[in-house]
Structure 1
Amino acid sequence: MNEIRNNWTAEEVAEIYNLPLLDLVFKASQVHRKYHNPRKINMNTLISVRTGGCSQDCKYCAQSSFYDTEVQRERMTLKQVLLNAKRAKENGVKRVCLSSSGRDANNDKQFDEIAEMITEVKKMGLEVCCTMGMLNKDKAKRLADLGIVAVNHNLDTSESYYPEVTTTRTYAERLETLANLQEAGVNYCSGGILGMGESVTDRAEMLRTLANQDKHPYNVPINALVPVAGTPYENNGVIDIFEMVRAIATARILMPKAVVAFAAGRTHFSKEGQALCFLAGANSIFFGSKLLTVDNVTINEDKYLLNLLGLETTKYEELTTVDI
């Protein structure tokens, strides 16, 4: 159960995913304590350097130009990015993730803008990761040369359910970006969203796809859908906390060395529910009142909860007891 594998079968993953919940949490917690310091947790902050106006039709996203939401197009200047990074650092954040909306970042001008931001934020002593859509081999190599810590590119769901989520890009294109990042030697961050109408099988299959990559993700974010008015998913109900726990625990067992992030949607859940997710193997959260365009848990609430649970914030490289 604790070995590092890249050849999971659908039957094996389904068996793990559908264990009695407390048995699943117990197994995941054992794996977590073997590979990670259970008292350490990483706090990231997400800075949206380019917001809105996206040409993709992802049904969950408030930034899509296909839907009438309250999100307006905005672009941050380098000065604004550095000011946000400074505030994050003052609140104990060790890593900043720069997010740019859009299909991809292969446009030279757009890429160069992000590259400058990455360079300048790193000078502040912060770890830097980014998310900017699809990347070709050349741009992946350039990110490696910049010393990026990781690049986020979520699979969102299973391959079979993906056409229900978006029609303007394919699952194969998502996997190609992950392959390009791995070839360039860039750590990648990839996970999914729960609550989009997918089945339990879809959730398990998404995690299996990640666990069977040549190299496991550096970070696996598990997000709960935050329904946004104006999007096709605006009337979706909030997913049950125990479904979040189940996905987090399975991710921890399948990818023991990965950092597992309890990402979007934490405002839906109680302190007790969040604590159970940490017990099941989550060891990273996003810090700040906004997560891109949706509300997040406030800084003071997070500080209170982490102190209550005896969790200490740290850098990624200090989370694990083994090399990733």
Structure 2
Amino acid sequence: MSVSRIRYDWDSSEIGAIYNTPLLELIYQAASVHRQYHDSTKIQVCKLISIKTGACPEDCSYCAQSSRYKTAVKPEALLEKETVLNIAQKAKESGISRVCMGAAWREVRDNSQFDQVLEMVKEVTALGLEVCCTLGMLTESQAKRLEDAGLYAYNHNLDTSAEYYNTIITTRTYGDRLHTIDNVRSTNVTVCSGGILGLGETVGDRVSMLHTLATLQPHPESVPINILSQVPGTPLENQPDVPIWDVVRAIATARILMPASDVRLSAGRARLSQVEQALCFMAGANSIFSSDDGHMLTVTTPCPGYNADQEMLNLLGLEMRPPKTRDKLAPQAVIN
């Protein structure tokens, strides 16, 4: 089989045709591409730490941390550095190779709190872990400061299509999100950007979002596929569950479009059975988020625990992938 080349010139109609391929054939095609670029026996297991929780001024309709909605989340101050380091060390001992630190901010500000986050990045990186941050919008100079601190990746999800975006969020634009990604790309920090399934979007919206991601050059090194966790008190609390087949289709399509990227089965995984997760891995997902407290980010976002995930990986014959470093990251060469 010839190696599937990396493309950045995808047409929306091509992506729609891939997404709508008969399911078993789609899984087979995605699994074949996956094996050309990745070790199919390895899964990266990640830990997400909420370093600053709640009181976010944004109006993201799905989010428990928005100050505009009455949810079970109680605002908390920025965690102490030692607390974060202890969580990261415990995660490393459980086989975690990537720690993502999330703060419920609209944007990064040049203040003492950002200075504290930079220190966290330095010291968690020194533990030998990949460090990702998701802190909201940031400028090019702030991205450079994160790079200098040793940051491996910056997460800034598109969430959905440009066309549907204003239905879900009004306090920032789609262009704002793409601009932040551009600012990260001005550094050697890798990009983590994906979306959420189950916001009420159409298949066309999913195709449009994947088109935006797949025509970025280079592709995001990390593409999280999130499943909506319906949070009481948010506008989307009564959304129906996303069928597993839709999740598998999105993962498989992302894998074919962005073959060298890590495709992460992220939020919402807690409601999937081991068999359903195995289908996602077959379709090209090669990363999950795991937890020691049953929550991914806040008490409203459940996440499988370390022991349950280790049991599942053992059952499926999968191993935890070690961390990478920025200097050893292979560029996305176009393969003809």
TM-score greater than 0.5 by the shorter chain: yes
TM-score bucket (shorter structure): over 0.9
Alignment partner, residue 227 of structure 2:
224
Question: TM-score of the superposition, structure 1-length normalised?
Answer: 0.97
Residue 37 (structure 2) pairs with residue 32 (structure 1): no
**Contact (CA 8 Å) 2:128, 2:323: kept in 1 or not?**
no
Distance 1:139 1:321 in 2: 22
Distance 1:210 1:316 in 2: 24
1:111 Cα deviation after fit: 1.6
Distance 2:323 2:49 in 1: 18
**Contact (CA 8 Å) 2:130, 2:324: kept in 1 or not?**
no
Residue 69 (structure 2) pairs with residue 64 (structure 1): no
Q: What 5-or-longer segments of structure 1 have no aligned partner? A: none
Aligned mate of 2:313, from 306, 310, 317: 306
1:290 Cα deviation after fit: 1.1
Alignment partner, residue 317 of structure 1:
324
Partner-residue secondary structure (3-state), 1:73 = coil
**Contact (CA 8 Å) 1:106, 1:136: kept in 2 or not?**
no
1:267 Cα deviation after fit: 1.3
Aligned mate of 1:254, from 253, 257, 271: 257
Partner-residue secondary structure (3-state), 2:13 = helix
Partner-residue secondary structure (3-state), 2:7 = coil
Alignment partner, residue 292 of structure 1:
297
Distance 2:113 2:83 in 1: 17
Question: TM-score of the superposition, structure 2-length normalised?
Answer: 0.93
Distance 1:190 1:171 in 2: 13
The residue correspondences of 1:139-178 to structure 2 (distance < 5 A) are 139-178=142-181
Alignment partner, residue 18 of structure 2:
16
Partner-residue secondary structure (3-state), 2:234 = coil
The residue correspondences of 1:103-142 to structure 2 (distance < 5 A) are 103-142=106-145
User: Residue 308 of structure 1 aligns to which amino acid in structure 2?
Assistant: L
**Contact (CA 8 Å) 1:128, 1:149: kept in 2 or not?**
yes
1:65 Cα deviation after fit: 0.2
Q: Residue by residue, what CA displacement relative to the aligned partner does 1:185-240 show, whole Å, maximum 9, x if unpaired?
A: 32110000000100011111111101101210010000000000000011111101
Gap change, CA 1:103 and 1:239, over 3 Å in 2: same
Partner-residue secondary structure (3-state), 1:222 = strand
Aligned mate of 1:182, from 178, 181, 185: 185
Partner-residue secondary structure (3-state), 1:220 = strand
Aligned mate of 1:53, from 55, 63, 78: 55
1:323 Cα deviation after fit: 4.9
User: Residue 237 of structure 1 aligns to which amino acid in structure 2?
Assistant: P
Distance 2:211 2:148 in 1: 30
Q: Residue by residue, what CA displacement relative to the aligned partner does 1:61-107 show, whole Å, maximum 9, x if unpaired?
A: 00000000010111311111111111111111111111111111133
Q: Report the aligned-residue RMSD.
A: 1.5
**Contact (CA 8 Å) 1:28, 1:250: kept in 2 or not?**
yes
1:322 Cα deviation after fit: 6.1
Alignment partner, residue 2 of structure 1:
4
User: Residue 135 of structure 2 aligns to which amino acid in structure 1?
Assistant: M
